[in-house]
Amino acid sequence: MQTVADIMTKDVVTVKKETNLRELSGIFETRRFGSLPVVDEAGNLTGIVTSSDLIEQGRNLHIPTVISIFDWVIPLQGERTLEREVQKMTAQTVGEICSGDVVTIAPTDPVSTAADIMSDRKLHALPVVEGHKLVGIVSRIDIIRNLVPK
């Protein structure tokens, strides 16, 4: 049984929360990645940033629908949603747009588990961690390459 460690990319391109968005967009453009792990100085995984997160900056601001009851104005989606949209649109660093809620996998997990997670969650890549330390990344193309007989 093949494990994630057998097919993962070990030399992972990463960014830090302090990385500015101009540098991030350059990496996405030149390296053709769809997502990048965000790590701290010790190499611990702290988040993930996707090209979709970066695209959020160019979209129109959605003013939430509100209802008015007597003298109260109540946003239907909540104030937090609007606040998060404004924050993403005005962001300058990776830390302001990345997600801290990262789905990960261990290097000892079977490749089939990685495929299941990616399929179920509609993910294109999974950071591979031991504890909190990033040790690799496995992408859909890694799994596809593994399926083709050599």
Question: How many H helices and E strands in the chain?
Answer: 7, 6
Q: What is the pLDDT of residue 88?
A: 62
- What is the DSSP secondary structure assignment for residue 37, as one 8-state letter? E
CB 106 within 8 A of CB 114: no
Mean pLDDT of 128-133: 96
Q: What is the pLDDT of residue 80?
A: 60
Q: What is the pLDDT of residue 128?
A: 98
pLDDT > 80? residue 120 = yes
CB 14 within 8 A of CB 39: yes
Helix (H) or strand (E) holding 6, with range, is helix 4-7
How many alpha carbons lie under 13 Å from residue 15 in its C-beta half-sphere?
26
What are the pLDDT digits (tens) for 80-110? Answer: 655 566 566 667 899 999 999 999 999 999 9
Tell whether the torsion through CA atoms of 12, 16, 22 and 23 is positive or negative. negative
Domain 4-147: CATH class, spelled out:
alpha beta
Q: What is the pLDDT of residue 59?
A: 47
What are the pLDDT digits (tens) for 27-79? Answer: 999 998 889 999 999 999 999 999 988 886 554 444 445 455 565 555 555 55
Residue 43: C-alpha distances to residues 30, 129, 132 (Å): 23, 10, 8
In the structure encoding, which two tokens stand for residue 21, read together? 């968005």
User: Model pTM?
Assistant: 0.78
Q: Where are the domains of the chain?
A: 4-147
